[in-house]
């Protein structure tokens, strides 16, 4: 009886998670955003990049991961991969956390100001058409 209840609960949780991303795509205007991230002038892989609208601006978060060569493409929250970001000014956060066991809190491995939207030296203005940004990170200030 207990096993049956747990199986039903697991199925319900999996269904909720699977269906949460299956809604209709929202019709928001986004523009292609690509770029490159380097650390001490060398490409850096596995860095998470977020573009967050500045305070008072309307818009939605866009994010992406850097590849082997440091390049990235942003995806917006409209559900399409590699679609870009909404027009306007953004704070740009750049951070990476090492692999960590589930349930643990991984420690940031880049300078902390890069991961704080208010302290990050990076800002970006998304314009119509294609946008490209380079983020040159330093291991020391």
The residues spanned by each domain of the chain are 26-137
Of residues 118 and 42, more confidently modeled: 42
Over residues 31-46, the mean pLDDT reads 93
DSSP run (H or E) holding 19: helix 2-20
Burial 53-73, CB ≥16 within 10 A → b, else e: beeeeebebbbbebbeebebb
pLDDT in tens, 79-125: 566 678 888 889 898 888 666 566 666 666 788 888 888 889 999 99
> CA 71 to CA 33: how far, in whole Å?
11
26-137 belongs to which CATH class?
Answer: mainly beta
């Amino acid at each position: 009886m207990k096993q049956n209840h747990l199986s039903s609960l697991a199925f319900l949780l999996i269904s909720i998670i699977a269906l949460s991303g299956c809604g209709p795509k929202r019709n928001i205007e986004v523009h292609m955003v690509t770029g490159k991230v380097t650390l001490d002038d060398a490409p850096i892989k596995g860095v998470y990049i977020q573009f967050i609208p500045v305070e008072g601006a309307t818009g939605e978060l866009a994010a992406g991961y850097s590849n082997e060569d440091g390049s990235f493409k942003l995806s917006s929250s409209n559900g399409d991969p590699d679609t870009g970001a909404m027009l306007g000014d953004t704070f740009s956060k750049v951070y990476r956390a090492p692999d960590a066991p589930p349930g643990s809190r991984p420690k940031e491995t880049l300078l902390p100001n890069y991961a704080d939207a208010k302290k990050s030296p990076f800002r970006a203005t998304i314009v119509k058409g294609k946008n490209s940004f380079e983020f040159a990170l330093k291991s020391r200030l």
